[in-house]
Amino acid sequence: MGGTQSQRPRVLGSVRRPVTRADVAQLAGVSTAVVSYVLNDGPRPVAPRTAERVRQAVALLGYRPNASARALRRGRTETIGLILGDSLNPLFTEYTSQLTKAAAMRGEALLIRDSRQDATVEAQIVEQLIDRQVDGLLFASPYSSSVNPHALRAAGIPSVLIDCPGPVPGRLSVGPAAQEGAERLVDHLIEHGRGRIALVVGERGFGHPDPRELGWQFAQHRSQLRPGPVIRVPFTREGGYTAGRQLTRAGEGVDAVFASNDLQAAGVLRALHEGGARVPDDIAVVSFDGTRESEFCWPPLTVAQQDLPRMAEVAIDLLHSEPDAPGRHVRVPTTLVTRASCGCPGVHA
Amino acid sequence: MGGTQSQRPRVLGSVRRPVTRADVAQLAGVSTAVVSYVLNDGPRPVAPRTAERVRQAVALLGYRPNASARALRRGRTETIGLILGDSLNPLFTEYTSQLTKAAAMRGEALLIRDSRQDATVEAQIVEQLIDRQVDGLLFASPYSSSVNPHALRAAGIPSVLIDCPGPVPGRLSVGPAAQEGAERLVDHLIEHGRGRIALVVGERGFGHPDPRELGWQFAQHRSQLRPGPVIRVPFTREGGYTAGRQLTRAGEGVDAVFASNDLQAAGVLRALHEGGARVPDDIAVVSFDGTRESEFCWPPLTVAQQDLPRMAEVAIDLLHSEPDAPGRHVRVPTTLVTRASCGCPGVHA
DNA sequence: CCGGAAGGAAACCCATGAACACCCCCGTCA
DNA sequence: TGACGGGGGTGTTCATGGGTTTCCTTCCGG
């Protein structure tokens, strides 16, 4: 920013020089090493009286260790990079919030960047984050599994894939138990009399095969239902809107829609309302994610809710696991939250 | 994480030691100082041929400067702290996205934390961020104006208040031209025949006086309208919901609602729908912010839209202004975006 | 012989921790 | 009983991490 350390104006009588360990050492009448030992609790014992003097000096001077110097020396910054494919998706907003919390528990902070789902941008961001010496990287972006693993291993930086549909060889990842969640949602629709259920999903889906799509298929198959139409649109509100318009126009007798995420669901809802369809009477809508927004849609959405606090903890834990550990994927169950949009009896707005 | 620099396993023949400027210097046959001059473009000229050799060595070795070391030496980390009162509010999500972009333009990254509107938590976070040597702080939190200014000045850390309702003595701040925005919204309602307009606003409002509230008052006054009721609830979807229920029950002949932010508006809408009111026929709803979510409410919301890209740029600019500059507040105009919720003719869903 | 251009040596930013120095107490042996 | 060796407990010294920058040296042409 404007004022650098060196040219800081000297206020008379108080050259506002930051307090360093040397000041503390001098005041406490010890060497700087002892200050270090006291503050870091080891690796060697310090006489209680000396330690006390040091602590008093620290308090008196308001000394705070310099993070840059510490990072340089220790080779760790206590900072984690988080790369999001779409930072405006409320799912990732809520995810980020939980991740920040989980990281803070370990004294780590997050540097967050948005790759806008662009592989080139993502590569740049990863480079910038590595330059900043992050201790690890979290990816919630479709390109993450392709670009980086080798460079990351070479740099000795652990990484974890977030919101990952399934195992990726040699990599650590977390994700919702999406297929089960999707099945429960679709089963729920079927149990309450819906017979033709459309699927709205991203163009490339979530991985291959897409567990949400599988769940949707299996549930219908189990009930010997003819599979409803699949509409492929981007994972955005606008995408969902497009899908919804298609549904209202086509009128293929669809009486329920399963949207793959809350954003698409919001778009579908808007299109259905505009098209004059009554939700849930004419057509039910359910979706995956269960962000806070889903509760305040109209009608409130029945969803398979992801357990973000849990997944965030798992992600941070995985990041701290053995550096040479083999790949591993953790699936976290979702919860079925029934609200008005599925039209099931007993749920009033 | 698990593996630290020092105990990294030595692969035979290739001790994966990070490349330092010394390696580059050796390969290029110059001293480390010259490498520094070349990479930082000064402060002294380097012979073109030498510079070229250095650049080649850099490229060949894939050398990347160590950010911690640089930060230690320069006393600047190129990192900015952002403190949010509610990181889940989509307004701040979008704000954050723009701020990240604006900061990245200057090579700076953001460390983001959520104070959950708690002064104690906020103080801790500020301390942690200062420990991490952030070069500046951005506050989008109600407590920011009270707690920190002195400590920050003492630490020589510039700060800017984001989403600030008005000038704060001695401080830098940005905010929407809220009063004007509110007036336009309310004028718009009045022009289209609404005569009794309720205000939904946070318990403590936005500052004293609250410009949104003022705008709402003035616009009604100008049109010689009796002011509608004021309902004070938290700035959340749940708060808006409570307000909406109150409105449907009371039935004070209110035919329009001005919600102070998009979250409250979402809650109001849900409550009105549940109460069987038709929006906008029976009652119009407008709100402030204009987040993406507002476009996909039902019906889509007419809003005073904040110019977040602009405000983010201003915020970062202010942060880089003269350290001893006097306080300053920048007001950025909002845009009236008409959608279906205000029921004005000519706007179809 | 002087001046300027180009590059090198070394101090510095701050914290860390291995290696070393010291003190004191104890035990052992003459 | 006194001298000396050994060892635990404390503290200090100093190299180290990697980049920046001041000051100094060298070498060239004029």
Residue A2: closest CA among B106, B192, B217, B63: B106
CA closest to B340 among chain A residues: A274
Can you tell me whether residue A286 is helix, strand or coil? strand
Mean pLDDT of B38-63: 89
Strand pairing class (B79-84; B109-114):
parallel
In the numeric block, which tokens belong to residue A279? 């939700």
Least Cα distance to A201 among A215, A188, A189 occurs for: A215
Mean pLDDT of A197-217: 87
Kindly report the CATH number that applies to the domain delimited by A178-306+336-342: 3.40.50.2300
Is B64 within 8 Å of A269 when comparing Cβ atoms? Answer: no
The predicted model gives B189-204 an average pLDDT of 91
User: Using the CA of A43, which nucleotide's C1' is the nearest one?
Assistant: C17
Q: In Å, what is the CA distance from A127 to each residue of A72, A123, A156, B292? A: 19, 6, 13, 31
CA A304 to chain centre: 17
Half-sphere exposure of A273 (CA within 13 A, CB side): 23
Where does the pLDDT of residue B146 fall: very low under 50, low under 70, confident under 90, or very high at 90 and above?
Answer: low
B270-306 pLDDT, tens digit per residue, is 999 999 999 899 999 999 999 999 999 999 999 999 9
Is omega for the bond preceding A209 within 30 degrees of 0, making it cis? yes
Does the structure show a pLDDT above 60 at A349? no
- pLDDT, mean of residues B93-119: 95
Per CATH, which fold does B78-177+309-332 belong to?
Answer: Rossmann fold (3.40.50)
Of 3.40.50.410, 1.25.50.10, 3.90.1200.10, 1.10.260.40, the CATH number of B1-65 is 1.10.260.40
Q: A46 CA, D9 C1': separation in Å?
A: 9
Chain A residues close to B292, C-beta within 8 Å: 88, 237
Q: Is the pLDDT score of B15 beyond 70?
A: no
Is the model's pLDDT at A1 over the cut of 70?
A: no
Nearest chain B residue to A14 by CA: give it: B154
CA of B291 to C1' of C25 (A): 75
- Confirm whether any atom of chain D, the nucleic acid strand, is less than 7 Å from CB of A50: yes
Mean per-residue pLDDT for B116-120?
A: 88
B22 CB and strand C closer than 7 A: no
Which of A199-208, A264-273, B196-205 has the largest mean confidence? A264-273
User: pTM for this structure?
Assistant: 0.92
A78-176+309-332 and A178-306+336-342 have identical folds: yes
Which letter does DSSP use for residue B109 in this model? E
- Shortest CA distance from A100: residue in chain B: B113
Q: How far apart are CA A38 and CA A34, in angstroms?
A: 6
Cα separations in angstroms, B110 against A82, A129, A159, B67, B91: 11, 12, 20, 15, 17
Q: Residue B198: pLDDT band by 50, 70, 90 thresholds?
A: very high
Contact B272, B285 (CB under 8 A): yes
Residues from chain B contacting residue A97 (CB–CB below 8 Å): 87-88, 114
Q: Using the CB atom, is residue A20 less than 7 Å from strand C?
A: yes
Instruction: Note the CA–C1' distance, A66 to C19, in angstroms.
Output: 25
Tokens representing A78 are 């206590």
The residues with which A304 forms a beta bridge, in sequence order, are A288, A336
Average pLDDT over every residue of B19-41: 91
- CA nearest neighbour of B196 among B151, B252, B247, B274: B252
CB contact under 8 A, A269 and B298: yes
- The rounded mean pLDDT for chain A is 89
Strands B328-332 and B197-201: unpaired
Judge residue B141's burial from the number of C-beta atoms within 10 Å of its C-beta, 0-12 exposed, 13-18 middle, 19 or more buried. Answer: buried
Query: Is strand D in 7 Å reach of the CB of A226?
Result: no
pLDDT bin (cut points 50, 70, 90) of residue A74 is very high
Give the pLDDT score at B12: 37
**Cβ of residue A40 lies below 7 Å from strand C:** yes
pLDDT value of residue B338: 96
Show Cβ contacts of residue B293 under 8 Å, excluding neighbours closer than 6 positions: A90, A266, A293, B90, B262, B266
Res A145 pLDDT > 60: no
Residues of chain A contacting B112 with CB distance shorter than 8 Å: 100, 110, 112
With cut-offs at 50, 70 and 90, classify the pLDDT of residue A155. confident
C-alpha to C-alpha distance for A30 and A39, rounded to whole angstroms? 13
The reply to whether B32 Cβ lies less than 7 angstroms from strand D is yes
Read off the pLDDT band of A4 (50, 70, 90): very low
CB pairs under 8 A between A and B: 171
Nearest residue of chain A to residue B325 (CA atoms) = A2
A71 Cβ contacts chain C strand, under 7 Å = no
Encoded amino acid at B264, one letter? Q
Q: For residue A275, list chain B residues with Cβ-Cβ distance below 8 A.
A: none
Domain ranges of chain B: 1-65, 78-177+309-332, 178-306+336-342
* Distance set, CA B264 to CA A68, A239, B144, B239, B285 (Å): 42, 25, 23, 6, 11
The residue with tokens 């360990």 is A21
A4, A19, A100, A298: best to mutate for the B interface, most B CBs within 10 A:
A298
Q: From the CB of residue B337, how many other CB atoms can be counted at a distance below 10 Å?
A: 16
* B26 CB and strand D closer than 7 A: no
Alpha-carbon span B291 to A242, nearest angstrom: 20
**pLDDT tens, B200-230?**
998 876 677 889 999 999 999 999 999 999 9
Burial of A12 (0-12, 13-18, 19+ CB in 10 A): exposed
pLDDT of residue B147: 59
Residue A15: predicted pLDDT: 43
Convert the pLDDT of each residue in B233-263 to its tens digit. 999 999 999 999 999 887 678 999 999 999 9
Least Cα separation, residue A235 to chain B (angstroms):
14
What gap in Å lies between CA B88 and CA B100, rounded to an integer? 16
Residues of A in contact with B297 (CB under 8 A): 298
Provide the pLDDT confidence category of residue B18 given band limits of 50, 70 and 90: confident
Q: Which amino acid is at A62?
A: G
DSSP string, A11-60: BTTB--PPP-HHHHHHHHTS-HHHHHHHHHT-SS---HHHHHHHHHHHHH
Would you put residue A342 in left (φ > 0), alpha (ψ -120 to 50) or beta?
alpha
Tokens standing for residue A62: 């308001």
> 3.30.70.330, 2.60.120.10, 3.40.50.2300, 2.40.50.100: which CATH number matches A78-176+309-332?
3.40.50.2300
